[in-house]
Structure 1
Amino acid sequence: MLIIRSQQIGNGQIPVSVSDTGKGISPQLAKQIFDPFLTTKPHGTGMGWRICWTIVELHGGRLWVEDAPERGATFQFTLPAAALASR
């Protein structure tokens, strides 16, 4: 199951979180998941999360991942509201 949340907060940032109920993510993988060419799949390129990270950063935001407290993982990112309004 996926849970997607977003809101506009007072500091001009819009946070978005995407949580799942999968097996979670180890602290070691969480530290490396945005590194180029890191893959956990037999035929993966290791570019998917790096591309996501780059897009968010280029728009003035930040992207990170955490192991979810109950079960699964939560990917979160923020984007400046002003950048979204100018599009």
Structure 2
Amino acid sequence: QVLINLVINGIQAMADIGDDPRELLIESHRDSDGQVVVAVQDSGPGVDPESANRLFDAFFTTKAEGMGMGLSICRSIIEAHGGQVWASNNAGHGAIFQFSLPSISDAS
């Protein structure tokens, strides 16, 4: 559910970028603490710095048709499984939404 939501958000973020290339990159790796990290990177406009601290708040949206629940639900799901979720701007353009979860071997 979390990954699907982040992918859909990335696709929607790229809807109005004109003729610029639309790129969506999904990566996963294990970090130095053994956490599994998943990143969804898009080539959209990126995260507005004024909105960054509220992205995961319930009922906060940057979309005209948005309800402001998707990222809040993502955060709830990830935190319920012992993880974290965060967003940042890509160095070039676009945004990167990432979440980390304990690996299965760490959960037992």
TM-score scaled by length of structure 2: 0.72
* Deviation for aligned residue 1:85: 7.0
The answer for the alignment partner of 2:66 in structure 1 is: 44
Match of 2:55 among 15, 33, 39: 33
**Superposed counterparts of 1:45-84, under 5 Å:** 45-82=67-104
C-alpha contact 1:59 1:83 (8 A) present in aligned 2: no
Letter in 1 for 2:100: T
Count of matched residue positions in the alignment of Structure 1 and Structure 2: 86
Q: Higher strand share goes to which structure?
A: 1
Residues 28-74 of structure 1 deviation map (CA, whole Å, 9 limit, x = unaligned)? 21111001100122232110110001100100000000011100000
Q: Point out which structure has higher relative CO (alpha carbons under 8 A, 6+ apart).
A: 1
List runs of 5+ in structure 2 lacking aligned partners.
1-22
How many angstroms apart in 1 are the aligned matches of 2:29 and 2:94?
A: 22
1:14 matched to 2:39: no
The root-mean-square deviation of aligned C-alpha atoms, in Å, is 1.8
Deviates more, 1:41-50 or 1:77-86: 77-86
